[in-house]
């Protein structure tokens, strides 16, 4: 269980060329924007480096010789330079944010599309909260790398190199003095970066765990209330939240040192430049204007260092997020849904021949299972929890592929047919109904453009839904909240029936379809089931044995094996597993 939540614990470096190379395809459509941003960075660097030179000229050619005209000229140039830098910076920032949002949109869409193609087995082992974190937080962090961090850091590096070269060119001895403290500064920043990388990685892992736990609690809130678990769940959440807080505080602790460290080294360097430069001015080796230029360069030199140090966390988080996102993208999708023969319909029978299946290698679910369903036959499958009933439905819909034996449709192995054609022709109505936000009509006709008024009228008539629809404030167009919270369990189940029938399936599977409805709705559904299954090959997986008495045949599963089969009356006379299940439910009904 711990591993279930801790897969987010990724040790990502500050820079991973392989991961960055995988990000580049998402920039292909926005390469011109990116190149213009680079040109703006170079232009901004040139302007920024020229400003201290203008300041020095204003001092030497204007103030020192009392030339008002030259002073005004260089002051105006200085003001124009700042205005130009402002325009370049604003244009660069807008362009980067625009490009970043486009990359974010494409990456998030690609990731969501990929998630929808993953097999059901992936979702069985992956917390919902983790997927939410991937497609929101992690993708946004990756986009931030391209929307600001990468170009801004590149610009800051250009400024550092430009200032360093200018100082060495103007006066190499004073330039070396100005750069004297830089190696020590970079060493301290490197040490702090290493500390921050580990703490940030831990904080991201804790956040993903918290999101997974939060999704679990919100989806199970009714259970929490029923069993009075509010205090216990709150304590557990607080424990995880506290763990996240401590990880974040540790990260903040190391991050808080960056700006003060840069400020200290800036002050030390400024003191060195002022002292040594002042001595050079007194000896006549340099002018006062050049000293002012060096002081301005020194102050400007440490601003990029400070900004780069602040961007380190962005690079680290982007690499960690990229590794998680690409790890998700590396998950093998379900094989091509259209690959294989098209299943056009059943002509004769469905045969389960020596079928074996396991979700995990350590536990076999179905064991050498064999039986046949004739076209038009209504078959029920019963058995205790874990006997393998629902697995049969999953295998018929090819949510999973079996490891041994065969399922034959008219003598052809099920795996030879495309998944999409099987899922179109085989309808599945489950106990747990997923309802999407929208209207009831939207939830019945899920496929865009598939609405047909005649088909809707036929579904309402076949399911005898008129009375239930009349109870809704806006009828069939009533808006539904998340998970169908504003409609009853019976109404949700009827939507599931309607949804399956909208595709007019030839084979119908009912997986505990009436187990969560009230007596009135169950009565309506039972009458509808009789009518619907009369013209369709049907497999009814049932918990309530009272709902399957009229089936052609009842199959009894026990520990993954077929132990009995026959009609309701035949199985009761046999006095085997079915009779025990029947007597157990009958006794429970009497107690109720």
408-439 burial, b at 16+ Cβ within 10 Å, e below that, comes to bbeeeebeebbbbbbbbbbbbbbbebebeeee
Lowest mean pLDDT among 82-96, 127-141, 230-244, 487-501: 487-501
CA neighbor of 277 nearest in space, from 294, 261, 265, 262: 294
Please measure the distance between the N-terminal and C-terminal CA atoms of the chain and give it in whole angstroms. Answer: 36
Q: Is 285 helix (H, G, I), strand (E, B) or coil?
A: coil
Give the C-alpha separation, 281 to 171, whole Å.
Answer: 12
Q: Is 418 helix (H, G, I), strand (E, B) or coil?
A: coil
Whole-number Å distance between alpha carbons of 426 and 344 = 11
Please, which pLDDT band fits residue 260 given cuts at 50, 70 and 90?
Answer: confident
Q: What kind and span of H or E run contains 351?
A: strand 349-357
Question: What pLDDT, on a 0 to 100 scale, did the predictor assign at position 590?
Answer: 42
Burial of 336 (0-12, 13-18, 19+ CB in 10 A): exposed
pLDDT, residue 592, reads 43
Q: How far apart are CA 26 and CA 142, in angstroms?
A: 11
Q: Are 4 and 125 spatial neighbours (Cβ–Cβ below 8 Å)? A: yes
Q: How confident is the model at residue 232 (pLDDT cuts 50, 70, 90)?
A: confident
**Model confidence pLDDT, tens digit, residues 316-341:** 778 878 888 888 999 988 877 788 88
Region 111-130: what's the mean pLDDT? 85
Helix (H) or strand (E) holding 26: none
Q: Which residues contact 516 (CB under 8 A, 6 or more apart)?
A: 431, 489, 493
pLDDT digits (tens, 9 = 90+) for 367-423: 999 999 999 898 999 988 878 888 998 899 888 889 899 999 999 999 999 988 888
Q: What average pLDDT does the segment 473-483 reach?
A: 80
CA–CA distance, 168 with 165 (Å, rounded to integer):
5
The dihedrals phi and psi of 351, each to the nearest 5 degrees, come to -120, 125
pLDDT band at 14 (very low <50, low <70, confident <90, very high): low
Instruction: Dump pLDDT digits (tens) for 176-196.
Output: 998 888 888 888 877 777 777
Query: In the numeric block, which tokens belong to residue 274?
Result: 């002022």
What pLDDT was estimated at residue 13? 57
Per-residue pLDDT for 350 more than 90? yes
Q: What is the pLDDT of residues 423-466, one digit of tens each?
A: 888 888 877 778 888 888 888 887 766 788 888 888 888 777 77
Residue 265 has pLDDT above 80, yes or no: yes
Output the pLDDT for position 519.
63
DSSP per-residue letters across 98-146: HHHHHHHHHHHHHHHHHHHTS-HHHHHSS-HHHHHHIIIIIHHHHHHII
Q: How far apart are CA 394 and CA 401, in angstroms?
A: 9
In order of start, what are the domains of the chain with their CATH numbers? 2-329 (1.20.1560.10), 349-591 (3.40.50.300)
Task: Please state, in angstroms and rounded to a whole number, the distance separating the CA atoms of residues 176 and 164.
Answer: 9
Count of CB atoms situated within 10 Å of the CB of 551: 21
The overall average pLDDT reported for the chain is 83
Structure-token pair, residue 247 = 């990880």
Q: Report the distance separating Cα 132 and Cα 480, nearest Å.
A: 22
Q: Say which residue, 566 or 486, is predicted with more confidence.
A: 566
Going by pLDDT thresholds of 50, 70 and 90, the confidence category of residue 522 is low
- Residues 557, 571: contact at Cβ < 8 Å? no
- The predicted pLDDT at position 88 comes to 93
Percent of the chain whose pLDDT exceeds 70: 92
Q: Is the pTM of this model over 0.85?
A: no
């Amino acid at each position: 269980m711990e591993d279930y939540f801790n897969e987010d614990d990724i040790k990502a470096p500050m820079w991973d060329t392989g991961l960055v190379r995988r990000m580049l395809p998402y920039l292909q459509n926005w390469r011109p924007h990116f190149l213009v941003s680079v040109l703006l960075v170079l232009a901004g660097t040139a302007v920024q480096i020229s400003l201290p030179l203008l300041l020095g000229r204003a001092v030497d050619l204007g103030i020192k010789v009392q030339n008002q005209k030259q002073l005004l000229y260089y002051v105006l140039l200085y003001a124009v330079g700042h205005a130009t830098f402002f325009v370049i910076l604003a244009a660069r920032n807008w362009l980067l944010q625009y490009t970043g949002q486009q990359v974010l949109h494409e990456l998030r869409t690609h990731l969501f599309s990929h998630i929808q193609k993953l097999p059901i087995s992936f979702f069985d082992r992956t917390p919902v909260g983790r997927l939410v974190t991937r497609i929101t937080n992690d993708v946004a962090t990756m986009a931030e790398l391209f929307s600001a961090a990468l170009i801004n850091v590149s610009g800051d590096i250009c400024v550092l190199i430009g200032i360093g070269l200018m100082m060495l060119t103007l006066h190499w001895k004073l330039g070396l003095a100005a750069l004297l403290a830089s190696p020590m500064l970079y060493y301290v920043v490197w040490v702090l970066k290493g500390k921050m990388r580990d703490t940030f990685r831990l904080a991201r892992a804790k956040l993903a765990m918290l999101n997974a736990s939060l999704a679990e609690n919100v989806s199970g809130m009714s259970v929490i209330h029923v069993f009075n678990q509010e205090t216990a769940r709150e304590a557990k959440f607080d424990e995880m939240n506290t763990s996240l807080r401590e990880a974040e505080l540790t990260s903040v602790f190391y991050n808080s040192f960056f700006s003060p460290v840069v400020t200290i080294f800036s002050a030390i360097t400024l003191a060195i430049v002022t002292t040594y430069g002042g001595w050079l001015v007194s000896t006549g080796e340099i002018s006062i204007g050049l000293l002012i230029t060096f002081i301005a360069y020194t102050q400007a030199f440490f601003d990029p260092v400070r900004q780069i140090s602040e961007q380190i966390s962005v690079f680290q988080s982007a690499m960690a997020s990229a590794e998680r996102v690409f790890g998700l993208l590396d998950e093998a999708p379900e094989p091509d849904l259209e690959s294989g023969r098209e299943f056009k319909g059943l002509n004769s029978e469905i045969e389960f021949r020596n079928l074996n299946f396991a979700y995990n290698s350590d536990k076999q679910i179905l064991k050498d299972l064999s039986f046949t369903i004739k076209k038009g036959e209504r078959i029920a499958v019963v058995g205790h929890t874990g006997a393998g009933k629902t697995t049969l439905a999953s295998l018929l819909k090819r949510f999973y592929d079996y490891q041994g034996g065969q399922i034959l449709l008219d003598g052809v192995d099920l795996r030879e047919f495309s998944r999409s054609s099987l899922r179109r022709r085989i309808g599945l109505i489950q106990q747990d109904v997923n309802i999407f936000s929208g209207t009831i009509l939207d939830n019945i006709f899920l496929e865009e453009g598939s609405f047909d008024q005649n088909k809707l009228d036929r579904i309402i008539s076949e399911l005898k839904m008129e009375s239930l629809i009349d109870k809704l404030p806006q009828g069939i167009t009533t808006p539904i909240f998340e998970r169908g919270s504003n409609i009853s369990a019976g109404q949700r189940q009827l939507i599931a029936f309607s949804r399956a029938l909208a595709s007019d399936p030839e084979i119908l599977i009912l997986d505990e379809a009436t187990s969560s409805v009230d007596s009135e709705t169950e009565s309506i559904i039972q009458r509808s089931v009789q009518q619907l299954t009369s013209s369709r090959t049907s497999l009814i997986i049932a918990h309530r044995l009272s709902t399957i008495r009229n089936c052609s045949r009842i199959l009894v599963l026990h520990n993954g094996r077929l132990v009995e089969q026959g009609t309701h009356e035949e199985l009761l006379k046999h006095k085997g597993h079915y009779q025990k299940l029947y007597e157990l439910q009958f006794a429970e009904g009497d107690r109720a």
